[in-house]
Chain A
């Protein structure tokens, strides 16, 4: 049966790849922010807002947030399938957590929009 790319159904290999590719983006963003905090002695509002006002940083931040959403979807699925055996409860928890993960992206998008 040919894998139907139109469907959202993923398989283990795609999750394996997605988990690591998103991890690389998140790590890059995390290390960049760490470097920013280390090399910026005094952070004022102008400096902080200036950081996120450039288009490049906006795209990078949004990419990191979307990566977190995908990373979390797969990562939390792995955790929940280990610890929450009843499918109904697990489904509910996954639904709630994935909704929160999406909310993080939405908040990020609209905040970046206004910067």
Chain B
């Protein structure tokens, strides 16, 4: 995800600095490369965010037994897959 940020920061810097830059980035985003990087980054971030939120809950002492830990893990993975599919539909 750290390397995905390379593309995100570059695209943001270029697109916000000038109209030509914005047009170029917008055009990249129409192509499948832009969309692939976008969905990869968004999907990775979603997974990281969900996992992080789960960890925050665990910090407060919940979901620490085998059963509850397992179930919460499966729950966020399911949610992650659903969200990634939604983003895929939106992008394509």
Contact = CB atoms under 8 A, between A and B. Distances in A.
For the complex, would chain A's binding face be called helix, strand, loop or mixed by DSSP majority? helix
B81 interface: no
Contacts of B19: 45
Chain A interface size range: 20 to 34
A30 B5 CA distance: 13
Contacts of B22: 45, 48-49
Interface string A6-29: 000000000000001001000100
7 A-B pairs with the lowest CB-CB distances in the bound complex, closest first? A45-B22, A111-B13, A45-B19, A104-B9, A52-B16, A23-B52, A107-B13
Interface of A: 20, 23, 27, 30, 45, 48-49, 52, 68, 72, 76, 97, 100-101, 104, 107-108, 111, 114-115
